[in-house]
Amino acid sequence: MKMKKIFAGAIAFAAAASMLAGCGSEPAQDNASNASKKYVIATDTAFPPFEFTNASQQFVGIDVDILAAIAEDQGFDYELNSLGFDAALAAVQSGQADGMIAGMSITEERKNNFDFSEPYYDADVTIAVAPGSDIKTFEDLKGKKVAVKTATNGADYAKSIADEYSLNITEFKDSPTMYQDVITGNTVACFEDYPVMAYNVQQGAKLEIPEGATAAGSSYGFAVSKDKNSELLEMFDAGLKNIKENGKYQEIVDKYTK
């Protein structure tokens, strides 16, 4: 089995860059053979159930396990760096990372800077509210202050309906801080991908998901910098197809969502 190092926890991008250089990782544009190259993959720090640190201090999640399964299927080695979403984007664009998997929605705007794999997960969007809230539908949010996590599917959806419902949107860099803002009453609701919100409620987050406030969201994709690392993208797609066919993909999803 290939060896994989996982650097968990939020670390600043500058520190991550120097760490990558120190461990001798080859740059994204290197044409070395896949057999000898270790790919550097960037990810988020806390986006359960896709990536998070569990009670045993292991970095786990749907994205983490899917990447591991695909790497094993395709026979490539990698190093997974948990940087935070914005820092992960910057790492890929600057060439400090070869690819990124972080519950990243495939959007037309992002396609200007990234090439995406085939979608590996389709996620609806929902809102979550404090227990006992009278917010039951999107209509109930009219003129209210709501919370979103920057650069997420939920944030995009909230912004798309902001004018219709006169939303006052506050952005946060991570989900736990966003949830706490709703719990303390600073905002009346937060927008989040449904599997993420459902998992956090299941794990004890003091929030509720109204039955009448879920909408179609977008698809997640593995990303590389525009016109770079095409061989890595091709291997991801081929491996994704294989693990879906052999049942490994569904086994991973079920592990975190059931």
Report pLDDT digits (tens) over 205-218. Answer: 999 999 989 998 88
For residue 214, what are the β-bridge partners?
126
Q: Which residues contact 255 (CB under 8 A, 6 or more apart)?
A: 65
Other residues' Cβ atoms within 10 Å of the Cβ of residue 111: 13
- Looking at residue 116, what is its pLDDT? 98
Give the span between the Cα atoms of 191 and 179, in whole angstroms: 10
Residue of higher predicted confidence among 205 and 152: 205
For residue 61, what pLDDT band results from cuts at 50, 70 and 90?
very high
Mean pLDDT confidence for 231-237 = 98
Mean pLDDT confidence for 3-29 = 39
- Looking at residue 8, what is its pLDDT? 40
- Looking at residue 53, what is its pLDDT? 95
Contact between 194 and 121 under an 8 Å Cβ cutoff? The reply is no
Mean pLDDT confidence for 52-62 = 96
